[in-house]
């Protein structure tokens, strides 16, 4: 790092389901990301960045707390065991703001920790639906029939989100940390933003076929996949335009020279590359390879091809603003790569569920716990990728020769496979050494006992025989 001031601002922009290969600068044939591309050409562009998980909650747990999802017995709560980078920034007198409307990024599960203002879907839902009305009932009914949630139209809108962020920028005290999460490329949250040539009936029918394919594990036809990609592209175009507006506002406020701007994604999305649409359950490239751009006022533009993990993002943010990372952060600053030190974290990504072995989710308690009997861990090193699975055959791919992971070499490259398996076993043992804290365990046991006692009361017969 050539120069470092204290108290620069940080703008973290995350986009749900945005795959690395959708960036035009990375060779995508359609020009869908002109603003993100420009930022990439002006900043540090990491071409081989990997999310730590293929779905939202564990991925953001890792991004914000620099820990692995399968640690602490798979308990993803940000309350007890994991410290968010936002809490550290708050402690360092940052003004902290979060705008996320993803239903899995709730205050209740600890994602609002450290924020002065954190607008999640619950708060917005209550603001826009103060009372339960007949209209809500009707919308619920129609949503159920159509398979798209009509209420999203009133809760989430990327244009509205951007306006809210720009309003915040107008009034922000410095230094600030602002996180804005765009949902649009995630299938059918923004069903009303459909590209030219589609109409709502065609969209709803496609949505229905997609839902059925997910449920029955059947395949969609080529035409449907092409349409899904076309719709996805149009949503990426819209988000990119919103990001352009946000950056424009930052520039109008003369904040560009004092702000570290980060753009990344929580995971990618599948379009049947491995027989599956959507994300979660698998650790293939289309689900883990994400964009990562860091535009900092103090570094010249650079393209970094070294594989990196988003577990290093929070340590990097703290390094950029001159704050020492806490010992609970396992990642390292990616700025080390600019000093020609390769000593950043190894690339491990994790999943803790299968179609049949689900995680435990209790929205009321705000707890999400991965299923430790459904562990999958992938390890990427020197162009190789090993996928360990508790429930399936292990896989090995040569990413240099086979970037789309079509040929499993697990039985052909036994030495590579054995070495990489050993690394994964070490990683599992490392994760296992971080157990859920005793305090958290006792607290949960008390809660469970209360629930059990309540249930007993309900089941007691009203009259004694």
Distance (Å, rounded) from C-alpha 266 to C-alpha 181? Answer: 9
CB of 249 to Zn ion, least distance (A): 25
Least spacing, CB of residue 202 vs Zn ion, in Å = 25
List the one residue out of 11, 19, 10, 34 whose CA is nearest residue 266.
19
Least Cβ distance, residue 17 to Zn ion (angstroms): 6
> Considering the complex, what minimum distance in angstroms separates the CB of residue 54 from Zn ion?
9
DSSP string, 85-146: HHHHHHHTT-EEEEEE--TTS-GGGTTTTT-SEEE-HHHHHHHH-SS--HHHHHHHHHHHHH
Q: Which is nearer to Zn ion, 228 or 337 (CB)?
A: 228
Return the number of the residue (56 or 67) whose C-beta is nearest Zn ion: 56
CB of residue 311 to Zn ion, shortest distance in Å: 17
**Tokens 């997609």, residue?**
210
CA distance 305 to 287: 19
**Closest separation in Å from C-beta 273 to Zn ion:** 18
* Spatial CA neighbour of 104 closest among 389, 439, 366: 366
CB 181 → Zn ion: shortest distance, Å?
Answer: 9
| Structure-block tokens of residue 377 | 């861990």
Burial of 423 (0-12, 13-18, 19+ CB in 10 A): middle
| Owner of token pair 């120069």 | 3
SS3 at position 351: strand
**Strand ranges inside 16-86, DSSP E:** 44-50
Q: Which is nearer to Zn ion, 58 or 114 (CB)?
A: 58
Question: Smaller CB distance to Zn ion: residue 56 or 232?
Answer: 56
56 or 431: CB nearest Zn ion: 56
Considering beta carbons, is residue 54 or 315 the nearer one to Zn ion?
54
Are the CB atoms for 95 and 173 separated by under 8 Å? Answer: yes
Residue 243 or 335 with smaller CB distance to Zn ion: 243
Residues that bind Zn ion (CB under 5 A): 16, 56, 266
CB of 210 to Zn ion, least distance (A): 17
Nearer to Zn ion, 53 or 259 (CB): 53
Nearest-CA neighbor of 196 among 150, 162, 227? 227
Plot region of 178 (φ>0 → left; ψ -120 to 50 → alpha; else → beta): beta
Task: Compute the chain's Rg from CA coordinates.
Answer: 22
- Residue 241: CA atoms inside 13 Å, Cβ hemisphere, count? 10
Separation between Cα atoms, residue 51 and residue 63, nearest integer Å: 8
Which of 16/351 has CB closer to Zn ion?
Answer: 16
Residue 313 CB neighbour total at 10 angstroms: 27
Nearer to Zn ion, 56 or 264 (CB): 56
**Rounded CA separation 373/143 (Å):** 34
Least distance in Å: CB of 105 to Zn ion?
A: 9
Residue 91 CA, chain-centre distance (Å), reads 24
Spatial contact of 172 and 5, defined as CB atoms under 8 Å apart: no
Minimum gap (Å) between residue 447 Cβ and Zn ion: 28
**What's the residue count for the chain?**
465
Which residue, judged by CB position, is nearest to Zn ion in the bound state? 56
Shortest Å, Cβ 189 to Zn ion:
10
Place of tokens 């007993």: 456
Task: Give the residue with the Cβ less far from Zn ion, 335 or 370.
Answer: 370
């Amino acid at each position: 790092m050539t120069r470092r001031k204290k108290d620069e601002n940080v703008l973290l922009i995350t986009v749900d389901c945005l795959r690395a290969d959708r960036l035009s600068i990375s060779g995508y044939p359609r020009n869908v990301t002109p603003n993100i591309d420009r930022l990439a050409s002006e900043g540090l562009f990491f071409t081989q960045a990997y999310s730590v998980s293929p779905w939202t909650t564990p991925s953001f747990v890792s991004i914000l707390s620099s820990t692995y999802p399968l640690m602490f017995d798979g308990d993803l709560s940000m309350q007890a065991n994991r410290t968010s980078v936002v809490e550290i920034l708050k402690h360092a007198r940052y003004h902290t703001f979060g705008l996320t409307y993803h239903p899995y990024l709730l205050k209740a599960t600890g994602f609002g920790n450290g924020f002065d203002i954190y607008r999640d879907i619950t708060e917005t839902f209550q603001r826009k639906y103060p009372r339960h009305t007949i209209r809500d009932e009707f919308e619920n009914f129609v949503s159920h029939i159509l398979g798209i949630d009509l209420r999203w139209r009133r809760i989430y809108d990327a244009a509205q989100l951007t306006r809210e962020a720009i309003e915040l920028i107008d009034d922000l005290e410095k230094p600030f940390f602002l996180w804005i999460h765009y949902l649009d490329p995630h299938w059918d949250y923004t069903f009303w933003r459909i590209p030219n040539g589609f109409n709502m009936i065609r969209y709803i029918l496609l949505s229905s076929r997609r839902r059925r394919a997910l449920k029955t594990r059947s395949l969609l036809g080529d035409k449907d996949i092409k349409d899904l990609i076309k719709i996805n592209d149009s949503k990426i175009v819209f988000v990119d335009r919103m990001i352009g507006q946000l950056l424009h506002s930052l520039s109008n406020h003369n904040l560009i020279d004092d702000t570290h701007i980060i753009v990344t994604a929580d995971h990618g999305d599948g379009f049947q590359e491995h027989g599956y649409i959507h994300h979660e359950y698998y650790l293939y490239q289309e689900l883990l390879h994400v964009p990562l751009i860091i535009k900092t006022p103090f570094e010249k533009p650079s393209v970094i091809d070294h594989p990196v993990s988003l577990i290093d993002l929070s340590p990097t943010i703290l390094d950029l603003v001159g704050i020492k990372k806490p010992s609970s952060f396992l990642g390292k600053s990616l700025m080390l790569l600019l000093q020609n030190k390769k000593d950043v974290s190894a690339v491990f990504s994790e999943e803790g569920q299968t179609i049949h072995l689900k995680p435990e989710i209790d929205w009321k308690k705000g707890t999400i716990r991965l299923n430790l009997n459904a562990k999958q861990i992938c390890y990427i090193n020197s162009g190789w990728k090993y996928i360990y699975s508790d429930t399936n055959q292990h896989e090995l791919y040569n990413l240099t020769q086979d970037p789309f992971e079509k040929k499993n070499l697990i039985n052909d490259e036994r030495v590579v496979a054995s070495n990489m398996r050993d690394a994964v076993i070490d990683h599992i043992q490392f994760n296992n050494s971080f157990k859920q804290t005793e305090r958290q365990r006792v607290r949960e046991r008390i809660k469970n006992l209360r629930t059990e006692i309540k249930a007993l009361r309900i089941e007691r017969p009203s009259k004694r025989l």
